[in-house]
Amino acid sequence: MSELVPGGNLPLPDGMLTLRVPGPFDVSALVTGASGKVGGDADFVFYNQPDAPGVRLRGDTLSVEPARLRAGAVRVTVAVSAAEPGTPLGRLPAAALRVSDRQGRPLARFEPPRPGPETVLLLAELYRRGAVWKLRAIGQGYADGLAGLARDFGVEVSDDAPAPAAPAAAPSDLTTSAAPAGLTAPGAPASGPTATPSGLTISAAPASGLTAAPAGLTTSAAPASGRATPGAGLTAPGAPGLAVSSAPDPEGCLALVNPARARAGAPPVVLDARLTAAARAHAVTMAEAGRLATDSRDGTSLHQRITATGFAYATVGEHLVSGPRTPAEFVAYCLRTEQARRTLQDPALTHAGLAYAIGPRTGDTYWTAVWARPLTPENLARTRADVVELTNRERGRARLAPLAVDPRLTAAAQAHSADMVARDFYSHTSPEGTQPWDRAAAAGSRRRTIGENIACGQRSAAEVVEGWMNSPGHRANILKPDFTHIGVGFVGGGRTGTYWTQLFGA
C-alpha cells in the first residue's frame, strides 16, 4: 500500500474502486470533463444525491467505477466536509482517505496536513491520463462549505441566504510534489546486475502523470468592474477579449510587496524579465481555460515555463489566484493566508515575476506570481551539503557511521536530476533503460553496492529528507549500515518544480 503526500500520484487498476474516509465527515464527489466543470447538477454526488453513473455514495464510502462514468468524464474529485455543518475541519480528527481495489485490497492511504478554519477539503482526485486512471492526493481547503465548492465546479446552487464570500482555498503557493521513490540494488556490481533489482519502492507515478487541481482564491462570478483599466492591458493574439497585464510590474505590485517583506525582516525582491514572461504566459493560459491550475491543458507546467526562459533557480514559490481585481486585493489575499504569506515574505526568495489576465468569457482575473532565488554554484553546493548533513544526522540517531561525499556519486546523482527535468520523466530507470548502478559506473564509480532515492516537488533539503524518512523504502536506504558514501543531485525546474537524487554506495 502506498502512503501518499500532497501531489503524490498512483496508477489505478481496472474495475471498481472503494474510497473511504472514516470519521465525523460527509463525503462528496464531483464528476468533471476536460473543462474542469461538471456537465450538470447530476455530476455532484453527496448525501442528498448519492448516485451518479459510475459513482455511488454509501455512508463514509464512495464506490467509483471509471469505465461506467458518464460520457466525457475524465476526473472524479473527492471532497469531505464536517458532518456537523459549519464546523471547521481543524477541530476534527484528521481526514484520512483509504483506497482499495475491487477485491478489497488496500492500494493507498492519504492523510493531508491538518486544515485550519476550512469547512471543506478537496482530498483527492481520480483522473484519466491516456487510457490509464490514476489517483492524485490534493489536500486543499474551502472556507464556505459545499455551496462554494459546488459553484466553483459549475454546479447550479439555489440558496435564499445571502451569497457567501469567495472560498478561502488552500494555500495558493501551489506545489505538485510527488511522493519520493527509492531503489536499492544490494550487492549489485557497478556494471549493473542481470537480475531485476530488489527494494524498488513505487510510491508515485512518473512526473509526466502529474496534474493540477483548482486552487487559490476563486470567485465564479467576478463583476465586470474587475476588467483591466484603460491602458493597463493588451489583447492576446488568438484570444479575443483576453486582457493581459503588459507592464513588467502590473500596477506597482512590488510597492505593496516589499514593505510587507520589510515588516517581516526580509530583503526586497527585484523583478526579473524572465520570471515575468513565465508568469504572464501562465496567467493567459489560466484565463483562457477559465480555471486555476499549475499545468495548462497541453501539460506544460508553470515550472517548465520558468525553465524555458533560461532562469535556473535554487528555490521557487508561486501564487496562483483568481478573484482579486486590483494589486492591493491580490497582495492582501497573499498576506491573509498563512502559507501564502510565508512565501511572499520568505527571505530566501530574491527575484519575482508577476502578471494577471482577465478571462474573455467570465471576466475573472487570474494572477500568477513567481518568486525565486537564482541557482549559483555556491547555493547548489550548500543545498547538497544540507541534504548530506540531514541524512547523516538521521544515521547518527540510529548509531550508524556518517556517509562520506563521493564526487563520482555526486556527478551521477546531479546528472540524473538534470535528466529528469530535461526529458520530463520521474523514475529510477531512464527512458533508454539505464539504472542507478549504470549511471554510477558511467561517472567512474567502482562501488559494488548502489542505492538510490529520488523525489520531486519538495522545496528544501529539510523537506525532502523528512519525506524520505517518512517512507519505509527510502528510510531503509538512508539507514542501511553497509553504505559508506553518498552523492546528492538537485535541479530546479521541470513539471513539478524540483528534482532530487540521493545515490548511495558501498
Tens-place pLDDT, residues 131-159 = 889 998 888 776 556 666 666 777 654 43
The string of DSSP codes covering 246-263 is: -SSSTTSHHHHHHHHHHH
The string of DSSP codes covering 178-190 is: EEEEEEEETT--T
Q: What is the pLDDT of residues 280-289, one digit of tens each?
A: 999 998 888 8
Q: In the prediction, which pLDDT does 267 show? A: 93
First vs last Cα of the chain: how many Å apart? 29
Most confident of 154-168, 223-237, 426-440: 426-440
Q: In the prediction, which pLDDT does 210 show? A: 24
Q: What is the pTM of this model?
A: 0.56
Which of 304, 297, 44 is closest to 156 using CA atoms?
Answer: 44
Alpha-carbon gap, residue 112 to 97, rounded angstroms: 9
With cut-offs at 50, 70 and 90, classify the pLDDT of residue 236: very low
Q: What is the pLDDT of residues 89-147, one digit of tens each?
A: 877 888 889 999 888 888 888 888 777 777 888 889 999 888 889 998 888 776 556 66
Q: What is the pLDDT of residues 34-83, one digit of tens each?
A: 887 888 878 888 877 888 999 999 888 899 999 999 998 999 999 988 87
Alpha-carbon gap, residue 307 to 224, rounded angstroms: 35
